[in-house]
Amino acid sequence: MKNLENKITKWYGSSRATRMWIAKHWYRYINYGCPQHYIECNCTPIDSPKGFAEMSKYCYDKYWKYGS
């Protein structure tokens, strides 16, 4: 998990708000099938850029789902 934290910090920054922003994409993806919209569509893949799906799921589980 340390590697994911480092990757997120390197690509997007170190703030908690950044991690919540990333987690929001996973939330939309699992609920609506699209990481960008709050409606059902399939306009973009969650893994773009490569590795974003793993980062967003991690942030969702750590920062969004449990609120820690």
Q: Is residue 25 part of a domain?
A: yes
pLDDT for the residue numbered 55: 94
10 within domain boundaries: yes
**Structural domain contains residue 23:** yes
In a domain, 47, yes or no: no
Say what the pLDDT of residue 9 is. Answer: 95
36 part of a folded domain: yes
Let me know if residue 18 belongs to a domain: yes
- Measuring CA to CA, which residue among 56, 8, 9 is closest to residue 28? 56
pLDDT over 90, % of the chain:
57
Q: What's the pTM value of the predicted model, to 2 decimals? A: 0.83
Report yes or no on 57 lying in a domain.
yes
Q: Give the 3-state secondary structure of 1-68.
A: CHHHHHHHHHHHCCCHHHHHHHHHHHHHHHHHCCCCCCCCCCCCCCCCCCCHHHHHHHHHHHHHCCCC
Cα 18 to Cα 11, 21, 25, 43: the distances in Å are 10, 5, 11, 23
The whole domain housing 7 covers 2-40+52-64
Count of structural domains within the chain: 1
